[in-house]
């Protein structure tokens, strides 16, 4: 009888887990200033929502396990790896991706500086680098070179454009302090 009961509980928990995995739920958030409402699986990542559901492919899938930074976006003004955020935690969030950075058709100073300094080679890491840099400059608008290196340390570039990336962020920071309100 005891064994029967424990089998029943096991089956019930497995079923409950199955329901949790398969049932969709509604999430509402802002993406680049636009209200978004989606029916998604709670355990799907923000990266999947952005790229697959919303077809905004500027945010890249690198490792999928929070190690490379290619998928970095801003959530409520903080640079976050979107592959590590569950859909069920997004209700009410304000999300900014690389697509939302330019204003009135003009590239953001960070985007311009990456071009000017040739701070990309294949470009796969670039949107994550720029969004992480943007988050860094929101926290610290005039970082030293060393502070930029520390702040960007966990974003990986397989092409090794690190020095030019740091140069670009320094240039953008000066430009933003001149005329752009963060």
Question: Residue from 54, 121, 138, 175 that binds ligand FES (CB under 6 A)?
Answer: 121
Binding flag, residue 68, ligand FES (CB under 6 A)? yes
Binding flag, residue 101, ligand FES (CB under 6 A)? no
| Beta carbon of residue 179, minimum distance to ligand FES (angstroms, whole number) | 28
Residue with Cβ nearer ligand FES (40 or 119): 119
Question: Residue from 44, 50, 69, 169 that binds ligand FES (CB under 6 A)?
Answer: 69
Question: Residue from 63, 107, 142, 182 that binds ligand FES (CB under 6 A)?
Answer: 63
Print the binding letters for residues 71-100 with ligand FES: x by CB under 6 A, - otherwise. Answer: x---------x-x-----------------
d(CA 160, CA 147): 19
Binding flag, residue 124, ligand FES (CB under 6 A)? yes
76: left (phi over 0), alpha (psi -120 to 50) or beta: left
Q: Which of 169, 156, 57 shows the shortest CA–CA distance to 111?
A: 169
Question: Residue from 74, 120, 130, 152 that binds ligand FES (CB under 6 A)?
Answer: 120
3-state DSSP percent of the chain in helix, strand and coil, to 5: 45, 15, 35
Angle between helices 109-116 and 126-139 (to 10 degrees): 130
Count of residues touching ligand FES (by CB under 6 A): 22
User: Interface with ligand FES by CB under 6 A: which range of 12-20, 50-58, 99-107, 158-166?
Assistant: 158-166
Q: How many CB atoms lie within 10 A of CB 144?
A: 10
Q: How many CB atoms lie within 10 A of CB 101?
A: 19
Q: Please answer whether residues 137 and 182 qualify as being in contact, where contact means their C-beta atoms are separated by less than 8 angstroms.
A: yes
Secondary structure (3-state) at 74: strand
Residues that bind ligand FES in the complex, under the rule CB under 6 A: 61-64, 66-71, 81, 83, 120-125, 157-159, 161
């Amino acid at each position: 009888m005891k064994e029967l009961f424990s089998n029943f509980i096991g089956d019930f928990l497995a079923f409950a887990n199955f329901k949790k995995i398969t049932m969709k739920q509604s999430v509402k958030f802002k993406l680049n200033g636009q209200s978004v409402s989606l029916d998604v699986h709670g355990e799907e990542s923000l990266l999947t929502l952005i790229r697959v559901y919303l077809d905004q492919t500027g945010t890249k899938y690198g490792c999928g396990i929070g190690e490379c930074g290619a998928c970095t976006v801003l959530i409520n003004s903080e640079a976050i790896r979107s592959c590590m955020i569950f859909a069920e935690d997004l209700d009410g969030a304000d999300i900014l991706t690389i697509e939302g950075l330019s204003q009135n058709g003009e590239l953001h100073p960070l985007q311009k500086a990456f071009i000017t300094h040739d701070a990309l080679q294949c470009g796969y890491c670039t949107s994550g680098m720029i969004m992480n840099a943007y988050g860094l400059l929101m926290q610290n608008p005039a970082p030293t070179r060393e502070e930029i290196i520390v702040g960007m340390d966990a974003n990986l570039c397989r092409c090794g454009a690190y020095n030019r990336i740091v140069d670009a962020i320094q240039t953008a920071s000066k430009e933003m302090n001149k005329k752009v309100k963060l």
